[in-house]
C-alpha cells in the first residue's frame, strides 16, 4: 500500500469555568480589595501555606479558619528566565519567574519578577508585591514583584551568595598595539617584545606579549563579574606555561575554589587559555567579596 497517512489540523475549544472555593475566593478578594496577602497555618506542624489551603496535607488537619497575614515582601528562593513564547503566557519574553517566599510564609509561591536587568538577576534578592491597577479574579491581582533595593544589582556577589564551583570568564585578542602600550606603561622595552629581528633568534622565534598582559585579563573577571563590583583583590599568583603571540585570543577564567570562613574571603582558581585550547597560565587568587 502506498503512503496515505497525512496530518489533519484540529482544535479543541471548550468552555470551562473554575471555582476558587470559599477560602480561595477570600484570598483573591483580599488581594483585589485590600492588597493583602494571607496564608493558612497548620497548628500542628506550624507550616504557613501561601496561597492558603484548607487542609494541611501532611497532618490531615482542617486549617481553613486559621488565617495568618503575611508580608507583601519576601525573598527570591530561586528563579528562571523564560525566553520561549506561547500565546497564553502572562507576558512577553524574556521575563523572570521567581519562587518567592514571603516573610511569614513557609511555602514559596511562583510569580513574575519585573524591573530587574535579566542578566543581573540572582537568588536571595528581596522583592515586594506590586498590585495590579486593574482588579481581576486571579493571582494576577498581584501584577508582579519588584526588587526592594536596586543597589543589589550594582554590587558583586557577597560571601554568602558565592558558592564553590561558580565560574566566570573574560576573553580578548592580544594585539601588537596592546603590547606596545604595555611596554610604554611599564617601561619594559625588552627586544623579545618589541624587536622582531631580535626575537627571531630568541627562544620563542618571534615577538611575544609580556606575561602581565594576558594575566591582567583576570582583573575584569574578578572585579566586574565574579565576585564582581565591590571586590578587593588580596593576592594573585600566576604560573606561566606558554607564551602569548600577537593575535592570540586569551580567555581568563576564575572559579570559586574555597570559602575562607573566618576572614569571609574567597579563594579563586585561575586559568588562562588561548584559542587553540592550550593553557598558557594557571594560578590562584584570594579576594574579599563585597558586603551585602
C-alpha cell at 99: 519562587
181 makes contact with another protein (CB under 8 A): no
Piece of 1-9, 105-113, 121-129, 247-255 that binds another protein (CB under 8 A):
1-9
Least distance (Å) between residue 15 CB and another protein: 5
C-alpha cell at 141: 491581582
43 makes contact with another protein (CB under 8 A): no
Contact residues for 238 (Cβ-Cβ < 8 A; gap 6+): 211, 215, 270, 272, 281, 282, 283
41 makes contact with another protein (CB under 8 A): no
**Is it true that the peptide bond before 225 is cis, omega within 30 degrees of 0?**
no
Binding residue (CB under 8 A) for another protein from 35, 36, 54, 230: 54
Task: Give residues 130-159 in contact with another protein (rule: CB under 8 A).
Answer: 137-138
6 makes contact with another protein (CB under 8 A): yes
The stretches of 191-262 forming alpha helices (DSSP H) are: 191-194, 196-200, 212-216, 218-220
Nearest by Cα to 50 from 33, 34, 35, 72: 72
Please work out the total of residues on this chain that contact another protein, with binding judged by CB under 8 A: 38
Binding residue (CB under 8 A) for another protein from 30, 55, 121, 194: 55
Q: Are 71 and 102 in contact (CB under 8 A)?
A: yes
C-alpha cell at 274: 588561548
Distance between CA atoms of residues 261 and 181, nearest Å: 40
Binding residue (CB under 8 A) for another protein from 14, 117, 187, 277: 14
13 makes contact with another protein (CB under 8 A): yes
- For residues 114, 116, 119 and 120, what is the CA-based torsion angle, rounded to 10 degrees? -140
191 makes contact with another protein (CB under 8 A): no
Piece of 21-29, 120-128, 238-246, 281-289 that binds another protein (CB under 8 A):
21-29
Least distance (Å) between residue 86 CB and another protein: 11
Binding residue (CB under 8 A) for another protein from 34, 44, 45, 59: 59
Q: How many CA atoms lie within 13 A of 165 on its CB side?
A: 1
Nearest CB to another protein, comparing residues 75 and 106: 106
**Is it true that the peptide bond before 98 is cis, omega within 30 degrees of 0?**
no
Residues that bind another protein (CB under 8 A): 1, 3-26, 28-29, 53-60, 62, 137-138
Amino acid at each position: 500500500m502506498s503512503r496515505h497517512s497525512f496530518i489533519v489540523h484540529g482544535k479543541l475549544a471548550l468552555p470551562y469555568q473554575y471555582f476558587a472555593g470559599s477560602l480561595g475566593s477570600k484570598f483573591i478578594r483580599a488581594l483585589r480589595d485590600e492588597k493583602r496577602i494571607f496564608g493558612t497555618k497548620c497548628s500542628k506542624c506550624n507550616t504557613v501555606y501561601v496561597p492558603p489551603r484548607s487542609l494541611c496535607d501532611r497532618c490531615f488537619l482542617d486549617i481553613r479558619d486559621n488565617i495568618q497575614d503575611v508580608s507583601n515582601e519576601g525573598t527570591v528562593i530561586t528563579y528562571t528566565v523564560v525566553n520561549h513564547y506561547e500565546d497564553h503566557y502572562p507576558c512577553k519574553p524574556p521575563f523572570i519567574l521567581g519562587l518567592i517566599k514571603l516573610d511569614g510564609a513557609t511555602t514559596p509561591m511562583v510569580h513574575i519578577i519585573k524591573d530587574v536587568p535579566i542578566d543581573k538577576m540572582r537568588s536571595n534578592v528581596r522583592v515586594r508585591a506590586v498590585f495590579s491597577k486593574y482588579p481581576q479574579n486571579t493571582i494576577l491581582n498581584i501584577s508582579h514583584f519588584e526588587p526592594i533595593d536596586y543597589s543589589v544589582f550594582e554590587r558583586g556577589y557577597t560571601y554568602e551568595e558565592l558558592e564553590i564551583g561558580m565560574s566566570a570568564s573574560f576573553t580578548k585578542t592580544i594585539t601588537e598595539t596592546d603590547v606596545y602600550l604595555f611596554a610604554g606603561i611599564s617601561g619594559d622595552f625588552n627586544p623579545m617584545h618589541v624587536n622582531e629581528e631580535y626575537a627571531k633568534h630568541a627562544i620563542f622565534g618571534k615577538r611575544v606579549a609580556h606575561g602581565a598582559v594576558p594575566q591582567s585579563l583576570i582583573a575584569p573577571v574578578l572585579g566586574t563579574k565574579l565576585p564582581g563590583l565591590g571586590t578587593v583583590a588580596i593576592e594573585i599568583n600566576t604560573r606561566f606555561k606558554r607564551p602569548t603571540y600577537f593575535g592570540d585570543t586569551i580567555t581568563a577564567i576564575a572559579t570559586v575554589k574555597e570559602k575562607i570562613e573566618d576572614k569571609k574571603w574567597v579563594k579563586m582558581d585561575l586559568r588562562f587559555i588561548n584559542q587553540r585550547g592550550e593553557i598558557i597560565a594557571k594560578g590562584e587568587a584570594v579576594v574579599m567579596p563585597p558586603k551585602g
